[in-house]
Amino acid sequence: MKVLITDKINESAGKILEGVAEVVFMPTQTEDELCNIIGEYDALMVRSQTKVTKKIIDAATNMKIIGRAGVGVDNIDIEAATQKGILVVNSPDGNTNAAAEHTIALMLAMSRNIPVAAVSTKAGNWERSKFTGVEVFGKTLGVIGFGKIGSHVAQVANALGMNVVVSDPYTSQQTVEKAGAKYVNSLDELWPLCDYITVHVPKTRETMHLINKDTIAKMKKGVRLVNCARGGIIDEADLKEALESGQVASAAVDVYENEPDMSKCCLCCTDKNVVLTPHLGASTKEAQLNVAIDVAEQIRDVLSGGSAKAAVNIPALKPSVLEPVKAYMSIAENVGALAFQISNGSLKSINLTVEGKLADLDISPITIAVLKGVFSSIDEGVNYVNAPVIAKKRGINVVTSKSHNDCSYQGSITVKLLTDKDEVCVSGALITDGMPRITEINEHKMCIQPEEHMLVLPHENKPSMIAKVASVIAADNVNINKMHVADNVGSDPLSIMILSTETKVEANTLKQIADIDGIKDAKYIHLSA
């Protein structure tokens, strides 16, 4: 067995792995260089610097496991690894303290002008009045994302005497209030309340440029912003403009859209109060030791014939339990994801019901797949191992049930989500050809294949609705692959139009569709189909 380590990782990792494999440390390899040698190795261990592309994975003919010493796996092509049967693992908890502490450190540093004051003093100057700062005590901190890091930041901020306001539609109000913070239902409610705002969400299609010109305009004048999460969550150009206008008093940023190439970061070109650090959130001796040991142990266990505790892409379930329901895992995950993405408001509970032959089986893998689908849109660290833990930590009530009533399919999965604003219900099944199908959305019957890019459009059934929607989409140069219209049912006066598209439908196009007379809602859905 051979293990390749391509980034600077604590030496403890190598010592752990030496018991089962030959360990080779070869940093700063290019993509082509890695492709030339990767076929020799059974495992690869990286941090954030190495980009594990599809090309590299295709060349990894003996690869069994890729370990990311940290939480973020956006530098690894998960889909390519999964298709090739390569396990990907990470360390979702190892750097929590480090990232939270760096967030607080940056917030204090920009508040008290510490970086610029230090430079001035070292130059022999004494400019006390020039660097007068502000206190955080009594100020309101907005925390966007209340996972492991966000909740830790809130705890420390409380200890500093700050008032903490939280926006996280996937965490219950009770969980937030128990932590001593105030829960708000939306970001629009949070923006004007805060003196400071910090983001702790993954970089997804939904969170890219979450903080931009429009959202900054809704904030208090003189707000202070912190980003220790992922580059791109804050639009750097819009932030620079807001700093120069005074709408944002100061900012502290640890992550960037084009890191490590800082020549492309416009924040380096402003003389306004901005504190920049080179992605140091997880860069403590303790965090690097923790993630190195955690991931090395998982690689060791897998190479020794065991299992991983933090598998990102493959369920860590007993084969005897998984095998009978394995074919249903994909549709279960997509039913959960679809139900969540068409819902509105703060999630309160998840109800899963299975019918047909599934009612005679252990459905714990199905439950996990549904939870992974639900939370995959908002937590980059979610996997089959930690999905139930995430639900518990967020205070989400999960109820499962089995029905032995007659079923139109061999096995059917129904997910009902209850939020503080609505209730949605989505069903899925495998049809006779073994292909997954969405069979029902809010009592509207259908039989559609889950697709990567979809639109769900409740609407009034009247002439030219399809034509109007199609014209808006065509104007954005997006191709429609498939279309289905489910008529109104029961007391529901609305029909549902479901479109699959070749590419993502951008927010501005989605808004244009929503503005069409007769369209009652417009949801873009992204599935792992």
Average pLDDT of the segment spanning 112-123 = 94
Same domain, 263 and 194: yes
Cβ–Cβ under 8 Å, residues 365 and 321: yes
Higher pLDDT, 394 or 499: 499
Q: What is the pLDDT of residues 439-468, one digit of tens each?
A: 999 989 999 999 999 999 999 988 889 999
What does the pLDDT read at residue 21? 94
Instruction: Please state, in angstroms and rounded to a whole number, the distance separating the CA atoms of residues 238 and 343.
Output: 30
Judge whether 195 lies within some domain: yes
> Residue 201: how many CA atoms within 13 Å on its side-chain side?
29
In angstroms, rounded to a whole number, what is the distance separating the alpha carbons of residues 494 and 373? 27
pLDDT value at position 76?
A: 92
Same domain, 229 and 338: no
Q: Which residue has 């199908």 as its token pair? A: 437
- Would residue 8 count as lying in a domain? yes
230 with 120, same domain?
Answer: yes
24 and 7 belong to one structural domain: yes
**What is the structure's pLDDT at 407?**
72
Q: 200 and 110 share a domain?
A: yes
Residue 512 has pLDDT above 90, yes or no: yes
* Residue 510 within any structural domain of the chain: yes
Q: Of the ranges 6-10, 136-140, 167-171, 462-466, which is most confident?
A: 136-140
- What distance lies between CA 13 and its chain's CA centroid? 27
- The CATH number that applies at residue 405 is 3.30.1330.90
Mean pLDDT of 178-195: 95
How far, in Å, CA of 33 to CA of 51, rounded? 12
Q: pLDDT of 51-85, one tens digit each?
A: 999 999 999 999 999 999 988 788 999 878 876 77
- Residue 309: inside a domain: no
Of 83-97, 244-258, 467-481, which range is least confident? 83-97
The enclosing domain of 504 has a CATH number of 3.30.70.260
CATH for 215:
3.40.50.720
310 is a domain residue: no
Dist. CA 239–CA 213, nearest whole Å:
7
Last residue within a domain, chosen from 440, 472, 505: 440
Which of 443, 446, 423, 459 is closest to 491 using CA atoms? 443
Please give the DSSP secondary-structure letter assigned to residue 234.
B
pLDDT of residue 82: 73
**Which of 233, 268, 303 is where one domain is finished?**
303
Residues 121 and 247 in one domain: yes
> Do 179 and 42 sit in the same domain of this protein?
no
Using an 8 Å Cβ cutoff, are 207 and 201 in contact? yes
Residue ranges making up the domain that contains 506: 451-529
Give how many domains the chain has, as a whole number: 4
Residue 345 zone, left/alpha/beta (φ > 0; ψ -120 to 50; rest): left
Supply the Cα-derived Rg of the chain in whole angstroms: 25
Task: Say how far apart CA 2 and CA 23 lie, in whole Å.
Answer: 6
How high does pLDDT run on average in the chain?
90
Q: Do both 79 and 118 map to the same domain? A: no
18 is a domain residue: yes
Q: Of 417, 440, 463, which one is at a domain's C-terminal end?
A: 440
What pLDDT was estimated at residue 93? 81
Residues 255 and 400 in one domain: no
Question: What average pLDDT score do residues 148-170 get?
Answer: 94
Within this chain, do residues 45 and 188 fall inside the same structural domain, yes or no? no
* Pair (395, 470) in one structural domain: no
Please give the pLDDT value at position 204.
Answer: 81
Q: Are 140 and 222 in contact (CB under 8 A)?
A: no
In a domain, 446, yes or no: no
Q: Is 122 helix (H, G, I), strand (E, B) or coil?
A: helix
Regarding whether 182 and 125 lie in a shared domain, the answer is yes
Which residues are annotated as catalytic? 230, 259, 279
Record the pTM: 0.67
Classify residue 28 as exposed, middle or buried by CB count within 10 Å of its CB (0-12, 13-18, 19+). exposed
Residue 83, pLDDT score: 67
Residue 281 within any structural domain of the chain = no
